[in-house]
Amino acid sequence: MSDKLLEMETFVRVVEAGSISAAAEQMSVAKSAVSKRLSDLEARLGVQLLARTTRRLNLTDSGRAFLAQSKEILAAVDIAESTATGSRGLIQGKLRITSPLTFGLMHLNPAIREFMRLHPDVRVDIDFSDHQRDLVHGGYDLGLRIANLGDSQLAARPLTQIRRAIVASPSYFKDKALPKTPKDLLELDCLHYSGASDSRWVYISPNGQKGAIEPIARINANNGAFLRDMAIAGGGVINQPTFNIYQAICSGELITLLDDYCWQELTACIVYPKTHYLPLRVRAFIDFLTEYFDRDEPYWEREIAQAVKQ
Amino acid sequence: MSDKLLEMETFVRVVEAGSISAAAEQMSVAKSAVSKRLSDLEARLGVQLLARTTRRLNLTDSGRAFLAQSKEILAAVDIAESTATGSRGLIQGKLRITSPLTFGLMHLNPAIREFMRLHPDVRVDIDFSDHQRDLVHGGYDLGLRIANLGDSQLAARPLTQIRRAIVASPSYFKDKALPKTPKDLLELDCLHYSGASDSRWVYISPNGQKGAIEPIARINANNGAFLRDMAIAGGGVINQPTFNIYQAICSGELITLLDDYCWQELTACIVYPKTHYLPLRVRAFIDFLTEYFDRDEPYWEREIAQAVKQ
DNA sequence: TATATTGTTCTCTATCAAAGAACAATATAG
DNA sequence: CTATATTGTTCTTTGATAGAGAACAATATA
């Protein structure tokens, strides 16, 4: 007898991924295996669930109904198993995460190492990318997002505020005056992050008024680390989240400009599919990260504050 | 990854069967396999579901909860699969039946052969016994019962009325007078079915009055075929269901006595566990049998009626 | 029209589950 | 109270089978 649950799981994944190849990729098995599971399932039921050309998959009516029931069943199994183990156990399986590139590379490594130390049976599959992946479609358990999001399909758990700062290398100002107002930035070499939806640099001035400038980008790049290193090398002025530049600020490689202005903040969030049941490993990881990135003051803010004091 | 559904199914069966050995027997696998499935499941969950000594099984609290959820899930899977196939398909799997001995041997053979011809993927496991098996405990899909039952735990579908007749061999009356009233039977050699709950022979007389006699059993036996053959051989008078003796009546080997009395009738029923979902093969078999044993007039009654005409 | 990508099919292999015997533990019978 | 039967576990051997990987067919896209 074949493994019915595995067949159902495969079927669901194929539908959500949109193709057999993608589902195979996500499940880390050969696509021949996925193809076989699917056709075995259909043979057993004697019904075609997916009308497939080589290029496109379409749910049949039977398939649509079976899909819904399969999801229910898979969730029920998860629930049954986790209630059986109680709170203490069964944090296991593969955790599929998508994370913004720079933030992930700079701050996720130790967090994940610690989480995996706590839960030896968890494996992790991370996709670093500044493209916002479709969680369901991509088969991700959760994603990190740095945005002021209003995504409706997903549940979101705020992690911490992301402050920004305008910084440049001290050497950059050897022959230039420090800016006094945001407008002064327009005269300088601004290095801009091209991934942002808004090409302006938005601020609140010391007297509480909102404002924005549209910097003339000397360089556009879709990678924060690149912009940071360029600024450190004296390439110009950047507007970047503090998590990216705190080390350079502490070391003095970068100095903050227009300190009394408050540059548009973002929120770091964990997003995950709004499902009535969340696998234990996902819940555990969310709780862990929430703890890890102290909501009020993440460690990079503390380090900056300390450096300023000295 | 192990087959979670198979583990759940095994767990449920072990609990209902009351022992690992019995469950293995019912599932037609080695008990070592059942034992392993169970301990694998517990290991995976990290929880003991069944506290087992070598002699007794006890559900733990976790086990009790997991049992209920497992049943739900297994039923959900069945439902999902059969709705997917629609009405037309997936009548397959092993049909576990328990049937009364004589009735089963005389009348079930062609019925089951026909059913299996219609549904090639069905296998059948029959237990012939006049002991009323516990369906759930014994892991049966359904049972045939010949009784005026009021069993509450089970759902029942009436098949047909079972008429009775008092018969004996013509040769038996070579030197005896035929009985005129039930009381006259007390003077004859009555051969009694010892499996009945009631040791009396109950009747309604031609004028509509109820009555009963307590025959003095010359022979007690718990097998109807044996009693029939004994009567044919001239051993005495029997009170037996017509399904058992119709051939002998038609052939003249047995003659009916006290024809104008109506001897207590029984009802042939199919009983099955009152579950919210019935596997398709079970439903199909029930429908088939209902059709097969025409409720109003089963074929043996028709044959008797024909023989009487001639 | 050429190319890339998709799903299927095939064979080969490694894995894993079941069988079956041997064993340990515990009711039951005499 | 001892002998026996029955139960669940453990171990090794064996067989089935699911997955890998390549080759293929079909279809979008450039």
Q: What residues does each domain of chain B span? A: 4-85, 93-162+267-309, 164-264
- For the segment B115-149, what is each residue's pLDDT rounded down to a tens digit? 998 888 888 888 888 888 888 888 899 999 887 76
Report the pLDDT value the prediction gives residue A272, as an integer from 0 to 100: 92
Under an 8 A CB cutoff, do B69 and A86 touch?
no
Give the distance from CA A278 to its chain's centroid.
18
Kindly state the DSSP code that residue A171 receives in the 8-state scheme.
G
- The secondary element (H helix, E strand) that includes residue A26 is helix A20-27
Residues 24-83 of B with CB under 7 A from strand C: 28-30, 32-33, 36-37, 53-56
User: At residue B279, does pLDDT exceed 80?
Assistant: yes
User: At residue A24, does pLDDT exceed 80?
Assistant: yes
Under an 8 A CB cutoff, do A73 and B70 touch?
no
Q: What is the DSSP string of B61-97?
A: HHHHHHHHHHHHHHHHHHHHHHHHHTTSS---EEEEE
Query: Å from B19 (CA) to D8 (C1')?
Result: 9
Dihedral pair phi/psi, residue B55, rounded to 5°: -120, -15
Q: How far is CA A31 from CA A21, A92, B177, in A?
A: 5, 24, 86
Question: Which of B64, B67, B83, B281 to substitute to test the interface with A, most A CBs within 10 Å?
Answer: B83
Q: Which fold has domain A164-264?
A: D-Maltodextrin-Binding Protein; domain 2 (3.40.190)
Chain B nearest CA to A269, separation (Å): 31
What is the rounded distance in angstroms from the CA atom of residue B31 to the CA atom of residue B33?
5
Range name among A22-36, A88-102, A278-292, B217-231 with the lowest pLDDT average: A88-102
User: At residue A153, does pLDDT exceed 80?
Assistant: no
Q: Cβ of residue B48 near strand D, that is under 7 Å?
A: no
Residues 43-72 of A with CB under 7 A from strand D: 53-56
Under an 8 A CB cutoff, do B85 and A6 touch?
no
B81 touches chain A (CB under 8 A): yes
Residue A87 banded pLDDT, cuts 50, 70, 90: low
Q: Cβ of residue B36 near strand D, that is under 7 Å?
A: yes
Residue B187 banded pLDDT, cuts 50, 70, 90: confident
Q: What is the DSSP string of B89-145?
A: S---EEEEEEE-HHHHHHHHHHHHHHHHHH-TTEEEEEEE-SS---HHHHT-SEEEE
Report the pLDDT value the prediction gives residue B33, as an integer from 0 to 100: 95
Under an 8 A CB cutoff, do A80 and B66 touch?
yes
Q: Average per-residue pLDDT in chain A?
A: 88
Q: Which of A200, A196, A221, A191 is nearest to A132 (CA)?
A: A196
User: At residue A89, does pLDDT exceed 70?
Assistant: no
Residue A197 banded pLDDT, cuts 50, 70, 90: confident
Which CATH superfamily is A93-162+267-309 part of? Periplasmic binding protein-like II (3.40.190.10)
Residue B254 banded pLDDT, cuts 50, 70, 90: very high
Q: What percent of chain B has pLDDT over 90?
A: 41
Query: Å from A35 (CA) to D22 (C1')?
Result: 16
Question: Which of A81, A91, A94 to substitute to test the interface with B, most B CBs within 10 Å?
Answer: A81
Most confident of B20-34, B135-149, B189-203, B292-306: B20-34
User: At residue B223, does pLDDT exceed 80?
Assistant: yes
Instruction: Report the protein residue whose CA lies nearest the C1' of nucleotide D21.
Output: A30
What is the rounded distance in angstroms from the CA atom of residue B65 to the CA atom of residue A42?
32
Strand pairing class (B217-221; B190-193): parallel
Report the pLDDT value the prediction gives residue A44, as an integer from 0 to 100: 87
Under an 8 A CB cutoff, do A69 and B86 touch?
no
Q: Which residue has the tokens 């004091």?
A: A309
The answer to whether A93 touches A122, Cβ cutoff 8 Å, is yes
Rounded average pLDDT over A254-276? 90
Range name among A159-173, B84-98, B158-172 with the lowest pLDDT average: B84-98
Report the pLDDT value the prediction gives residue B287, as an integer from 0 to 100: 93
Question: Mapping DSSP to helix (H, G, I), strand (E, B) and coil, where does residue B202 land?
Answer: strand
Give the distance from CA B289 to its chain's centroid.
12
Residue B105 banded pLDDT, cuts 50, 70, 90: confident
Q: What is the CATH number of domain B4-85?
A: 1.10.10.10
User: At residue A276, does pLDDT exceed 80?
Assistant: no
Chain B nearest CA to A73, separation (Å): 6
Range name among A39-43, A81-85, A140-144, B14-18 with the lowest pLDDT average: A81-85
Q: How far is CA B279 from CA B80, B276, B284, in A?
A: 11, 10, 9
Topology agreement, domain B4-85 and domain B164-264? no
User: At residue A310, does pLDDT exceed 80?
Assistant: no
